[in-house]
Chain A
């Protein structure tokens, strides 16, 4: 997400610059171009230093056995990639990442929709709901991790107190390999659902009121209106939210790492965490770079799918 915004800016600026040049055709066309580049320079510099160069250098590293400790660095060809594809821990952590993406994306879309519909349909004090639902999203991942570590504390945590009230056995939420992924999903949904909720709320408020009025006149009830008007009208928003959510969920790292206190569990280790562990705990930079590029390739494929879906929708219209 972060990378798309600046790119869009470039295109707009570029077009605007061209337009400006055309308008003043004749005069000092060259000078204006220089000014255009001057305006672009700060961004281009940052882009080159912090995005383009690391990407290229990372690709180079992935073909070496560079170690963080300075040793190694010789060219090893595709050996790192061959190792990666045969590495059970890489496949395991990729599997965890996909599993988390599935587990988190569904509630993050459905719950956000429910919340948005409830708020849109006349819950009193709309601003308070809007604020409460969105507030967690503003917190840093470190903060939400701490909050949920306490909630999930097996001895004194709120979650187990609730279970106890229902006469259920306490659960070691974050420690038991059977539940730790679920615990991370719950915390993540609480943390980020507010963003999707806002997108849905905005989309809901864009649905023309007349359609509901017409439907009422035709005798359609609330549920019929919801399925026949609201849901179809929210289609584009749902696609957008779903795709953004998948990309966000694939990046799973901070909350899982922090909530488990860095303990690397086979049931929660995400691919990003494995990349971090390989490079910064195990010092194997080259291999870690290769893992990043395997993951990068997957993201690219997803990005292409996203682009295709969006284009097909545009064509259909």
Chain B
């Protein structure tokens, strides 16, 4: 195989960077580190905004708690830019010591040797094993018997509600929590009642131009039918058309201009709920901090199982070992320690809204008192991830393609069946393509 140009350029840039960096750091960092025996571990992640601040706090915590290692984080832009760079670094075998990936993206990377396996024995020695995680979350890190990722959290799509508005609308129960709708009609009636109180919309949901947002709600509703999509390599995909159409039709009923705005983008919906102009808000848990900062009275619930089965569409930020050609044994040891330290200290991560995956944290008395987080912690047991396939996952083209297919139906009241047909065609195209990370399947 002829090495591609980017490898050469990277080597060149790497060498140049190293030379310059070494000259710069010769005086300070490296000597002080060597003197105290502290190893620096490179850690890449894609968390910015409120999540980024929380993550920095957690890293500061583990850095100061011990002197064996020091984490040096590199933050890259969420989505494609991050995954492209991490893939290139891993392909060259010169990746960071440890990185965060969405659990749903791991599968696509598994066959190409982009990720190194976690040693479950070493993890167990540190108290990290199946018994410390909700079942579906732990299993997600396992790809064909290889332990490729360790979940830090689950971040489901949930329903936030303004307690003051909902109280007036009479949709709260005796404990001041939202009454759970048992079917689509109940849910629509509830939103109508809330809209009557706000005078504006009952529900905020931003989706315009955002395939991920459309997919999150759609797949929650779809899996509530008690099924999941299957997209085996080479096809054909298993998609229940009736359930898909029912889910989209329900979304259309929500977006009628009275219950929720017909045309709202993500930012508009956040602003609407944060200023009390609507009573409920369909969103990822990561917006928890935004709403706390907005100082509105609110609580959070799982999205009610209107189609029967209780599910929570979610993804997990997970620790992975990007492939290194010559991993340093001592650094690898410290990476295991770092991951265990982070999991044990993930209570702080809950403050950003995410549900820590590590059960000793969520089962603690302290967590039970953490509100509103404790009110939706149950979602961790009911998580549904993207259908496993190399092309799916957070920030993937797949979610964008779903958005392109579904948006005309949500926006202009186009037929849900047409939207599902467009989506199926897109999935078919994906399935016909080989996984580009797979050395066997790159071209039939």
CB closest residue in chain B, given A61: B4
- From residue B62, how far is it (CB to closest CB) to chain A in Å? 30
Interface residues of A in 92-108 (CB under 8 A from B): none
Number of interface residues of A (CB under 8 A): 42
A67 to B439, CA, bound (A): 9
- From residue A257, how far is it (CB to closest CB) to chain B in Å? 11
Chain A, residues 143-172, CB within 8 Å of chain B (1/0): the string is: 000000000011110000000000000101
A244 to B162, CA, bound (A): 56
Check if B234 is an interface residue, CB within 8 A of chain A. no
| 11 A-B contacts (beta carbon < 8 Å) | A53-B5, A66-B4, A69-B109, A71-B436, A72-B436, A153-B268, A175-B407, A263-B210, A263-B211, A281-B84, A281-B396
Check if A117 is an interface residue, CB within 8 A of chain B. no
- From residue A19, how far is it (CB to closest CB) to chain B in Å? 38
Chain B, residues 77-98, CB within 8 Å of chain A (1/0): the string is: 0011000100110111000000
A154: chain B residues within 8 A (beta carbon): 208, 263-265
Q: A65-B443, A68-B436, A72-B443 given. 14 additional CB < 8 A pairs?
A: A66-B4, A68-B84, A69-B114, A69-B437, A70-B92, A71-B439, A73-B1, A74-B443, A155-B261, A155-B263, A177-B407, A262-B79, A264-B400, A283-B437
Asked if B439 contacts A72 (CB within 8 A), the reply is yes
Asked if B404 contacts A265 (CB within 8 A), the reply is yes
Check if B20 is an interface residue, CB within 8 A of chain A. no
Asked if B401 contacts A172 (CB within 8 A), the reply is no
Asked if B397 contacts A264 (CB within 8 A), the reply is yes
A261: chain B residues within 8 A (beta carbon): 209-210
- From residue B436, how far is it (CB to closest CB) to chain A in Å? 4
Asked if A175 contacts B400 (CB within 8 A), the reply is no
A282 to B393, CA, bound (A): 13
A53: chain B residues within 8 A (beta carbon): 5
Which residue of the partner chain, among A60, A66, A264, contacts B401 with CB atoms under 8 Å? A264
B84: chain A residues within 8 A (beta carbon): 68, 280-281, 283
Chain A, residues 50-66, CB within 8 Å of chain B (1/0): the string is: 00011001001100011
Which residue of the partner chain, among A170, A177, A263, contacts B400 with CB atoms under 8 Å? A263
Asked if A156 contacts B268 (CB within 8 A), the reply is yes
Check if B412 is an interface residue, CB within 8 A of chain A. yes
A67-B442, A69-B114, A72-B436 are contacts. A281–B91 as well, Cβ < 8 Å? no
A155-B261, A155-B264 are contacts. A72–B442 as well, Cβ < 8 Å? yes
Check if A119 is an interface residue, CB within 8 A of chain B. no
Asked if A285 contacts B4 (CB within 8 A), the reply is yes
Check if A213 is an interface residue, CB within 8 A of chain B. no
Check if A174 is an interface residue, CB within 8 A of chain B. yes
Chain A, residues 260-272, CB within 8 Å of chain B (1/0): the string is: 1111111000000
A76 to B2, CA, bound (A): 14
Asked if A175 contacts B263 (CB within 8 A), the reply is yes
CB closest residue in chain B, given A268: B404
A283: chain B residues within 8 A (beta carbon): 84, 87, 436-437
A261 to B395, CA, bound (A): 12
- From residue A20, how far is it (CB to closest CB) to chain B in Å? 36
- From residue A40, how far is it (CB to closest CB) to chain B in Å? 23
Asked if A67 contacts B112 (CB within 8 A), the reply is yes
Asked if A176 contacts B397 (CB within 8 A), the reply is no
A284: chain B residues within 8 A (beta carbon): 433, 436
Interface residues of B in 40-91 (CB under 8 A from A): 79-80, 84, 87-88, 90-91
A282 to B403, CA, bound (A): 17
Check if A277 is an interface residue, CB within 8 A of chain B. yes
B192: chain A residues within 8 A (beta carbon): none
A69 to B436, CA, bound (A): 7
A73: chain B residues within 8 A (beta carbon): 1-2, 4
